[in-house]
Each structure stands twice: as structure tokens, then as C-alpha cells.
A and B are shown apart, each in its own frame.
Chain A
Amino acid sequence: MISMCALSRLYELSANVTIHRAPITHSCFRDYSIGINRLLKTLGDAADEELWKQVLVPLKRYRFTHSAAPLPFNDESLSITAALSIARGQLSFYERAYPVAAEQLATILDLGATLQNCPDNPIRDFILERFPKGVTSGAVVLKASWLITPSQRSLHSHPATRTWEIVTAGQLRKEGCYSYLIVVGAARWFPEYLITAPRGSDIYIVRYGWIRDVMPNRQAFDRTWQKDGTRKGADSECVGDLDEVLDAEDLLPQIDWAAIQQHVIMPGESGFDDVPAKIAVLEGNFAVFFEDDEAATVLTLDLETDEPIERVLRTPVRRIAPNMFVLLRTTGGGDYILPLADKILGKVAPYVRKCQREWKEQLRRTVAQSSLAEVSVRLIEAGSTCANEVNVSNWMSPRNIKTQDPRDFAAIMETIGFQHCAQEFWKAMMAISKAHQSAGQQIRRVLLRRLQDIDLTILERDGRLEISLPGVDAGTLTAFRVIDLAPADRLVPSTKLNHPFPLGDSYAPHAAR
């Protein structure tokens, strides 16, 4: 609970906050940043070609990284030396196909090489210049969690910046307040509440002067009780010639969905078991496929709820949105219920699992010999109440345990020639289903207990947190912040669902190295 005094301070801050716009500059980085934009303009659609993407992705990432964090240009952990030398090696090829663009690329590569040897850190220099003696209560707000560690290293290297805390915007929703907040990058990159519900009395928005930014409107309602009660447009900040400025949005890393999907799903890796799925990019350079089905759910963590028992929720996949936290199993396979359910089943586990495998394999074989439609018809003739292509496909899936209606199960048994053991198999499937339910409840209970001991601000800051469940054989669960979800579905084998997988450098431009 927030105390009334702390609340009073928040109300006062909202009224008395001073926002300082602090454009900074660095000539070489400016030429590099604008040079990339010029190159993109020259290339047009060709920039999406794989050949160019390989070169542009690391260059763009470097541009964003140094616009969004107080890092020296020659920071080794974020070096692009390798990418520069690869690009330089291919320069002769580009010169033949794209002579103008190749010339621009050569300039960028030269500038990149210069920056790689440049120890300048303009954002930190700004902090030092403004607060030469340090501050007792100040925080630097970063756009991306993966920039925290290198930024901490950079700020801790100087005594005057050592006291600055490094936070992400999500951490500024609580009552904690600072005297000074330094927001690194464009205001548009951050949620509006950073400005409209400030947690600092002086907020500095430190961005490079060539980034075009818009300040959020502090008035929420279209018409309010305040004296000048009509909502004004957003406070736009435009600088100089349009060719010489970059839009803040253009600097943000774009996720290459097609590349991620190609990276994960190999050609020819499809079959009857394919399901429509949505890919989600997760914090920490991971991604995961979620089944895009009305009934599909995923375990989520709600950090905003005030009721501990509501912290862990089963949320429909279709309601998953960026900035939510999903819980996925990261060691021991994707399904955390299965091992515990088997433990609950005890000695009968191998037998009932064998039954489950047998009838599903037989059904799959039957479908392979004919088709989903034909098997559906045969099932209806055998007394099934809801056989259709989608349901048959679900019943074949190893994630599905049994049919809801025993009549559908009996029809399947008859169709696949297992009628003699239909009763026995149904009992086995019922046992599995019950075990799964109680395993799910047990895990939830343990998880809720465990969450009470965990400092969730770490999760808020880093966007990722491993949670081990003592006494439960469920492997390690990891809470991930969802960065973004793919706009479209694609078919993926059901075995790929809910398994987080690492993304390569070239697929997620925002990725930490």
C-alpha cells in the first residue's frame, strides 16, 4: 500500500515537474546515423533483400544502441567490427549492382570504423556536465532492458555517475520518486506516463539533436475541467531540414518476422500435426510459438494485480499483448505439467502413456492412409458427435489427451480398430486428464508461494526471470516479457509450441549480443 504522504508527493510532482529537453550532438555519430537513412532511401525496396539485410541489421542496431544508452562508442561488448569487415569484403559486389548505394555504404563503414575507435560517450558526458558532483536520488531511464548491464558498467566507471540508478519505464509506475530522471532517447519511445505521471521533479530528455521527437500531451481528456480545457495536439519538436533529421520511430528496431519463422521452421518440417501459431518475440533474444486457437491458453504473470492469488493466471493466447509476462518452461522441455502428472500417476504412468501414444499413432496412421475429411466422415458414421477436420487434427495431437465426449472416443476406437480395448483406453485417458489437472493446480500453488519470496522488480527491470520450483519436478520456469507478437499466423508442428528458442543476431535487431 502506498502511504498518503507518498501519494501527496506524486500529486505535487505531477503539477510541479520540470521537463528539460536536452539535445546533444556528436558529429561523427550524426553522419553515421543520417548516412544509414540516406542509404535506406537510396535502396528503397532493395533494403529488404537478404543481401542488404545482413549488412544493415548490425549497423542499425549500433545506431539504436548508442542513441538509447549512455555507452562509449568503442564499447567492446557491443562492437560491430566483425560486421564492418564482412560488409567491407562484400563492397566490391555491391559496387557492381548498386554503385550509388555502395558509395554511401563505404562512407558509413568508414564512419563506423572511426566510431569503433572513439571513446566518446556523449550521453554520459551530458550527465557529468549537468551533475558534476553526482546526485543522491537520480535514475537513468532506458528504453530496453538489455542495455542495462553495459550502461551500468559505463556509469560505474566514473565516480560522479556511480550513484545513478538504471531503470526501465515499467519500474516508474510505483510510488518511488527521484529528484532527477534522465530519460535516454526520444520521449516517444517511452510510455506517456513517464511525462504525465512523473516520478521525478526534474526530468531530462536526453536525445541526439537529429532525432525528431514529439512530447506526449499531458492532458488526457478531450475536454476537462481545467481552465484551458480543450485538448491540444501533441507537442511536436521539429529540428532543421527534414533530410537532416531522423524520425524517432525509424530508429526503433524492427522485428523481421519472416526471417524468424524461416530460421525456426525448416522446409519439409510440416505434417498433419501442424497448427496455426503466432510467434512472440520475448525479452532476452528469445521467441516462442503460441497456438493461435480460441481455446489455447498460456500461463502469465500479472505484476499489477494487488491480489497474490491472481498473480498467476491462465490467459487465452489471443489476449497476450506486448509488455505482458508469460511463464514458460526453459529446462526439461516445454511442458511443465507432464513430468509432475506422471509422478502423480505413479506406477500406472508408463502404461497409460503407452495407451495414449498407441491410439494417437494409430489415428495418425489412419489419417495418413486416407485424409482428415474421410476419417471425419467415418467417425461420424461410427457415432461421433463432433468429428470434423479440425477436431480430428486436435485429437491426433500429443498435446490433447482425450475427446470431451466418450461417444467421440468410442467412434475413434472403432474406426482405428481398437474397439476391443475402448473402455480400458478411456479409463486410462481419464486418469491422465485428472493427473494433469491436479499437476496444474499443484504447480500453480507452488508458483504462487515462490513468487512471494521473489523480488519482482528485477523482472520488471530485466524483463526476464528464472523461477525454480522447489519440490516440484517441473524443471525451471522463466518469466519473459513479451516484446511483440507477429501480425500473422503460420502453421507450425505442435511440438514446437510453447518452447522458447533463442534468436540469432541477424533475426532480432534489438537483440543483446
Chain B
Amino acid sequence: MPYWTSRLKCVRPNRPNVPRATSRLHASTAWLARSHKRIKTTLLLAIYDCWFQKHLPSGNVIMPSRLDSCARLYFLEGQDWCPFPAWAHFFIRTGWELQRASVFSERLVIAVCLPQRGFAACFAALGALLAEPLPRPTPDDIKRHFTHLLTLPDPEQNPTALTYLLAGRKLRGSFAGAVTRGTQRFVKVCVQTKSAYRSGGLTYYVQEGDAINLQIEPGVQPRLGRQIKGRTLVPHTSFVNHFYSQDELHLLHLAARCQVLIVGRINALREETTQVPCAVPTPHNQMNGGVLNDILRIRKFLSESSPARIALYPTQRGTGPSPEDQNASRLVIFDGADAFTKWCVLFPNANMLVILDRTEALFQEGLSQLNARYYLRSGEYPWHSNIQMPPGVEAISFLEVRR
């Protein structure tokens, strides 16, 4: 298959909310490609990209600038701020590409061989998250959520703990029933705020439009009274502000599906994403600091009620990723040959990034499995032609038929 047709084959979208128009365009682009073989693929792709950006529903704007913002990332080494190395940018770019790659019946597999796999998974995950807009709840989602809240069990018999996101604070409370005022229905939620501490608490009437700010806290027993206090949300670090607009920051606090799934080493990832200070310099030569998990929001490293964007599963323990996470994640990152050889069968459809560490015990096994899969590939995916490979990295990419 010539390069440009395979490139076209990989072009976009199964993106939500733009199904019919997009597939029409895809069909016409494919026709164009067949009919005018001399037209440069890049030109077609440019047309496609412009159209795609233009026709995305409002709010779901992909910001290519986010990838550029990564170029200004620094990390703290001892007392000094150092710019992110080239290999870090390579992984961010790889994650970005994997998340954006969308093909109709194929999935993209990228595998890399490294002298040491530290930080590779979290940088790739960062790139993948930045490639996608924050999932914004649709009116249908909100309606479904509100209906679900209305059907919660009777608070007298079976109380339900809720959190209420209000003016930058996350209040803990409990479901106090549903009421109708006129033609509108409301969910009643009792909360305890610091200001209302003496008076015994507050009851809010939450209508459908605001329902998305109410989240159920699974497994938490609500205890109203003196013990319950509202928790002021930790404000987003200015580090996060660098990547998201003010409007988008609000979405970080809403429950969202996990966009990326990582199978790997919990402790190593915890240290890499929560203990290494990162920063972006301001025009006034100050550093807006934070940690990678401010953006990554790995579920294991957040409190239970905090919405997560990445699901992380250990390689060795347990029964593996839950079916919900398996289905929700469009990208799976296998951090190590052991993770890949053990769990890859669970993901027949998601795009995959396989990180192989040359010093791992199972390196050869992972490598031979990937080489075997390469021979059974359904197509090439040579997007790397524009990427500068950092020294010491070896990579392979191919397409596989989704099962």
C-alpha cells in the first residue's frame, strides 16, 4: 500500500457528535484519493483537519497549542529547573498521536524499546490527554444524571452521600429527596458548610441544569451534623492553567470517563507523577509549578470521589482491568513487557502503546510477540516521518484489525 493511501486510511474520525457529516467527508476524501492519485496526501489531510475543527460541536475544541505548551515544560532536579529532555517530548508526542489516531476498523499499535522505561508511560499519557478535549457532558448526559438522582432511594431508609460542587468548593452532603415546585423538579441536598455550622446546615434545591455538579459518593455513609464539613476545593495550580482554559478547568472536577488506561508499576508511576515538581515559566520569569498528576488525574492517586482521567492497574496483582475501563479507554499503555504479555488479550480494540525496557526479564518475550504481530499487521502507520527519534529509542508502529 502506498504511503499516502495508508495515511488516508488512518484519517480520523469516529469522534462522537459528528458522525454523519464526518463519514460523508471521509467517503468523499477517499473517493478523491482514489480518483486523483497525484493529489498530495498532505493537502487532503490539511483540508480534512480544517473541516474537522470547524465542524466539531462547540466546546469540544482541540487545542493544538497544548502540545506546543509542553515545549515549555520544566522539571526540578535538585535546586535547578531543567527543561524537559527530548525523549520526554517524544513520548508526549507519541501519546498525542495515539489518541488522535482513529481508523474505522483498525487500531494503532506503537511499541518502543528503551534503555530504561522510567517516565515513558506518564509522558505518553500526558500527550494522550492533551490530544483530547475534556469530555463535556452533553444535555442528554445531564438529563440522564438528573433522572438517576431523582430515583435515589428514600433518604430516611437508605441515605446516599453526595458531593455538591458550588462556587469553587466541594461540599459533602446527603440526598434529602426530590421535590416538585410548579413544573420543575428539584433534587434536595443537605450540606454542612462552615458558615452554616452553627445553624445546623443548609439544604439546596438543585435543578436539572445544575445537576452535573452533584455527584454520588459510592461506599460513603453520609453523616450529617457536626462532623460534616464542606471541603474547599484545592484550586487548580497555575501549572494546570497553562494547559486548560478557565472554562475547561471546571470540567476537571466533574465525573468523567477514563480516557487512558495504564497497566504498569504503581509505585514508580506514583513517584513520577506526584513527587517530581514540574513547571511552566511565566513571561515574568516565574515558575508556575505543579506535578504531572494535576493534569493526568490518575484514579489510584486521587481520593475516591475525585473524577479521574486515567485508570491505572498493576501488572502483577488482581484480575486485571475492570470491563468498564476496558471498554471506555481508547488508548492502553503497557508499561513493560510483563504488562503487555499478561494483559494485552483484554484489549482487542484500543490503540496500544507498548513500552519495552531492554533490561527487563521478559523483554525478549514481549519483543517476539510484537514482532509476530507486526507480520500479521493490516497496515503501516508511518506518522513518525515527521518525528525526530531521540537517541537510544527504537520504535515500531503498525495497524491491526479491530476484533
Residues of A within 8 A of B (CB): 1-5, 7-8, 10-16, 172-173, 175, 191-193, 196-198, 219-226, 304-308, 310, 323
Contact = CB atoms under 8 A, between A and B. Distances in A.
Interface in B70-87: 75, 77, 82, 84-85, 87
Given A5-B82, A192-B358, A221-B367, A175 B391 contact: no
Contacts of A4: 75, 77, 82, 84-85, 88, 118-119, 276
A1 B275 contact: yes
Contact of A3 (B77, B88, B359, B384): B77
B265 A225 contact: no
B341 to A, nearest CB: 13
B339 to A, nearest CB: 12
B116 A224 contact: no
B301 interface: no
23 contacts: A1-B118, A4-B77, A4-B276, A8-B85, A11-B393, A13-B115, A14-B115, A175-B116, A193-B358, A193-B359, A193-B363, A196-B358, A220-B394, A221-B371, A221-B396, A222-B371, A222-B375, A225-B389, A225-B396, A307-B266, A307-B267, A307-B317, A323-B361
B269 to A, nearest CB: 9
B219 interface: no
Contacts of A193: 115, 358-359, 363
Interface string B88-112: 1000000000000000000000010
Contact of B85 (A11, A13, A191, A226): A11
Contacts of A226: 389, 394
Interface in B363-388: 363, 367, 370-371, 374-375, 382, 384
Contacts of B272: 1
Nearest to B115: A197
Which 8 residue pairs of A and B lie closest in terms of their CB atoms, listed nearest first?
Answer: A15-B391, A14-B392, A197-B115, A173-B359, A197-B358, A11-B392, A1-B271, A306-B265
A194 B268 CA distance: 23
Contacts of A172: 359
Among the interface residues B84, B316, B389, B391, which one has the most CB atoms of the partner chain A within 10 A?
A: B391
B395 interface: yes
A172 B356 CA distance: 17
B351 interface: no
Nearest to B123: A4
B314 interface: yes
Contacts of A14: 115, 391-392
Main secondary structure of the interface of B (DSSP, over half): mixed
Interface in B271-330: 271-272, 275-276, 314, 316-317
Interface residues on B, range: 35 or more
Nearest to B84: A4
Contacts of B265: 305-307
Nearest to B271: A1
B397 interface: yes
Contacts of B359: 172-173, 191, 193, 197
Contacts of B317: 307, 310
Contacts of A191: 359
Given A14-B115, A306-B265, A221 B374 contact: yes
A173 B396 CA distance: 23
Nearest to B269: A306
A7 B86 CA distance: 11
A282 to B, nearest CB: 18
A11 B85 CA distance: 10
Contact of A220 (B266, B276, B358): B358
A7 B119 contact: yes
Nearest to A321: B361
Given A1-B272, A2-B118, A305-B316, A15 B392 contact: yes
A10 B382 CA distance: 26
Contact of B356 (A11, A219, A220, A224): A220
B370 A221 contact: yes
A306 B392 contact: no
Interface string B333-373: 00000000000000000000000111111010001001100
Contacts of A225: 382, 384, 389, 394-397
Contacts of B77: 3-5
Nearest to B391: A15
Contacts of A305: 265, 316
Contacts of B75: 4
B64 interface: no
Contacts of B363: 193
Contacts of A310: 316-317
A451 to B, nearest CB: 15
B87 A223 contact: no
B116 A2 contact: yes
B113 interface: yes
B311 to A, nearest CB: 18
A406 B362 CA distance: 42
A191 B357 CA distance: 13
Nearest to A198: B115
B390 interface: yes
Among the interface residues A16, A192, A223, A225, which one has the most CB atoms of the partner chain B within 10 A?
A: A225
A251 to B, nearest CB: 23
Nearest to A227: B389
Contacts of B392: 10-15, 197
Contacts of A197: 114-116, 357-359, 392
B374 to A, nearest CB: 6
B390 A224 contact: no
B396 A16 contact: no
A224 B387 CA distance: 14
